[in-house]
Amino acid sequence: GENVEQHPSTLSVQEGDSAVIKCTYSDSASNYFPWYKQELGKGPQLIIDIRSNVGEKKDQRIAVTLNKTAKHFSLHITETQPEDSAVYFCAAWATGGGNKLTFGTGTQLKVEL
Amino acid sequence: DAGITQSPRHKVTETGTPVTLRCHQTENHRYMYWYRQDPGHGLRLIHYSYGVKDTDKGEVSDGYSVSRSKTEDFLLTLESATSSQTSVYFCAISDTKGDQPQHFGDGTRLSIL
């Protein structure tokens, strides 16, 4: 089955700096890659996603890049703000993969003032 | 926010007792999912439903059963709770355009002593 690895597990940045979280996946059939943000006491919230026919997608301060050859995808947050502090999860989904997303283990992002 | 309500939000019970968690949605979405979240494991799929009375197993389904008698309600039952089922449980839903979970509830924290 699919295996998703996520790094780093914790990330601390200064306000205004950029943050990058990286994930690798194992199943070459994976074709959908969402990112979720989870705040304390809340459920994960979908913040951006990318499909395998696209190399990059951007939404204001967040962007996701996908390298299908290397089987890795990354989340980029620019001009970080304190409200970006949360746990971020990547995930991968493959057509015919039993209708399930495989999640990474999460990255705790802390934006310091 | 998507209309997903999980109940109860917190529960403490003893080993061997039955437990039922409820997920209620007001979005009329076809797909519903139950995940558990544990440190170091991210989110793992327990069961999912693709319509009323249509359910299937996820990757960690042992010890759990589900039922969906109405579009809006998806129940997760632990027939005889064990300490290994102590976790945070999340319900998620998807619309008919795809079957990847798009919206999560705020979770149920379940402790089994």
Put simply, the answer to whether B90 touches A44 (Cβ < 8 Å) is: yes
Q: Inspect the interface and report whether the beta carbons of B40 and A43 lie closer than 8 Å.
A: no
Instruction: Say how far apart CA A30 and CA B97 lie, in whole Å.
Output: 18
A11-59 per-position pLDDT tens digit: 999 999 999 999 999 988 888 899 999 999 999 999 999 988 889 999 9
Confidence of residue B40 (pLDDT cuts 50, 70, 90): confident
Among candidate residues A108, A100, A88, the one with its CA nearest the CA of residue A30:
A100
Q: Distance (Å, rounded) from C-alpha B10 to C-alpha A86?
A: 22
Residue A68 DSSP class: T
Q: Please tell me the predicted confidence (pLDDT) of residue B69.
A: 95
User: If we measure between CA atoms, which residue out of A107, A94, A56, A60 comes closest to residue A79?
Assistant: A60
The pLDDT value recorded for residue A1 is 76
Triad B106, B108, B112: Cα angle to 5°: 160
Predicted pLDDT of residue A84: 97
Contact flag A101-B50 (C-beta cutoff 8 Å) = no
Instruction: Determine the residue of chain B that is closest to A99 in CA distance.
Output: B99
The answer to whether the CB atoms of A105 and B40 lie below 8 A apart is yes
Instruction: State the Cα–Cα distance between residues A88 and A95, nearest whole angstrom.
Output: 24
- B-chain residues within 8 Å CB-CB of A4? 42
Residues of A with CB under 8 A from a CB of B: 1, 4, 6, 32, 34, 36, 41-46, 89, 93, 98-101, 103-106
Query: What is the nearest CA distance from A72 to chain B, expressed in angstroms?
Result: 18
Please determine, for residue B17, whether its predicted confidence score (pLDDT) is greater than 80.
yes
pLDDT in tens, B51-77: 899 999 988 999 999 999 999 999 999
pLDDT tens, position by position, A46-105? 999 998 888 999 999 999 999 999 999 999 999 999 999 999 999 998 766 555 788 999
In this structure, the strands spanning B108-112 and B10-13 are parallel
Q: Which bin fits B79, alpha (ψ -120 to 50), beta or left (φ > 0)?
A: alpha
For position B39, what pLDDT does the model report?
87
Q: Which residue has the higher pLDDT, A112 or B59?
A: A112
pLDDT at A2 over 90: no
Residue B93 pLDDT? 92
Residue with tokens 């962007």: A63
B43-to-A15, A102, A104 alpha-carbon distances in Å: 29, 8, 8
DSSP for B41-104, written as a single string: TEEEEEEEEEETTEEEE-TT-TTEEEEEEETTEEEEEESS--GGG-EEEEEEEE-TT-SS--EE
Percent of chain B predicted with pLDDT > 70: 94
How many whole angstroms separate alpha carbon B113 and alpha carbon B99? 35
Interface test mutation site (partner A, options B100, B103, B109, max chain A beta carbons within 10 A): B100
